[in-house]
Amino acid sequence: MTVEAGTLPAEGVRAMFDRIAPVYDAMNRVMTAGLDGRWRRETASAVVRPGDRVLDSCCGTGDLAVACARAGGTVTGLDFSERMLERARRKSGQIDWVQGDALALPFEDDSFDAATVGFGVRNLEDLDCGLAELARVLRPGGRLGVLEITRPQGFLQPFYNVWFGTVVPVLGKLLPGGSAYTYLPASVKRFPGPEDLARFLREAGFSEVRYRLFAGGIVALHIGVAG
Ligand SMILES: C[S@@+](CC[C@H](N)C(=O)[O-])C[C@H]1O[C@@H](n2cnc3c(N)ncnc32)[C@H](O)[C@@H]1O
């Protein structure tokens, strides 16, 4: 499949993550110079309180779910890629790993005290629906943390363009599932910037929405409160 436009139907996204699952964690470390671990810990500590029931939606290979468990949550990790979940299951036997669709979450209303999504919302076929589902399964007052790649403004922009536009796709071509790493920069380009994502969260019913930027604005963490 040729993946250039940054948009894929859900089945294409799932198949792509199945293909890149074996190299996903290594690529994350390389692409973020190892910083992703800190961003995940910051996300977990921003929304998880000890004893919380936590959903990590689009959990992939599980690193953010594990960070939420370390922050004291009782965690459910959900993803539709079985190959990504296989990797996640090896990381923790304490977390409930569920195969499912983030656009039709298999949970009752008000099931969780906190929810996180790491580098996941950008891949959703219907962002409004994904955010509405998170609002539905969070109890009123429950906290959401969305960690996502964004486009930096200012002096980092040229560096970012070379890194994501050239280096990442070339690195990806050397690896199985290589076209995914052409999809990645294209999907970032079409995704709303931090101000717009904050607006989408408000429109989905979240209040107290705010965000902070990491790594000079390459990554954003949005926080909101349900209900
Ligand atoms: C870039 S990975 C992020 C994985 C992980 N959250 C992390 O922080 O590394 C995006 C994940 O979202 C999952 N995903 C995308 N759309 C989904 C959907 N509609 N339902 C469930 N999972 C989805 C993919 O299978 C993939 O594992």
Query: Quick one: what percent of the chain has pLDDT higher than 70?
Result: 92
Find the angle CA(69)-CA(75)-CA(80) to the nearest 5 degrees: 120
For the segment 100-111, the average pLDDT, to the nearest whole number, is: 98
Atom of ligand 1 nearest to the CA of 21: 27
Q: Which atom of ligand 1 is nearest to the CA of 40?
A: 8
Q: What pTM, to 2 d.p., does this model score?
A: 0.91
Beta carbons of 22 and 45 less than 8 angstroms apart:
no
Mean pLDDT (whole number) for 219-227: 96
Structure tokens at 118: 């790491």
| Residue 4: per-residue pLDDT | 35
Pairing relationship of beta strands 112-118 and 96-99 according to DSSP bridges: unpaired
Cβ(84) – ligand 1 distance below 6 Å = yes
- Terminal CA-to-CA distance of the chain, rounded, Å? 41
Ligand 1 centroid vs 17 CA: distance in angstroms? 8
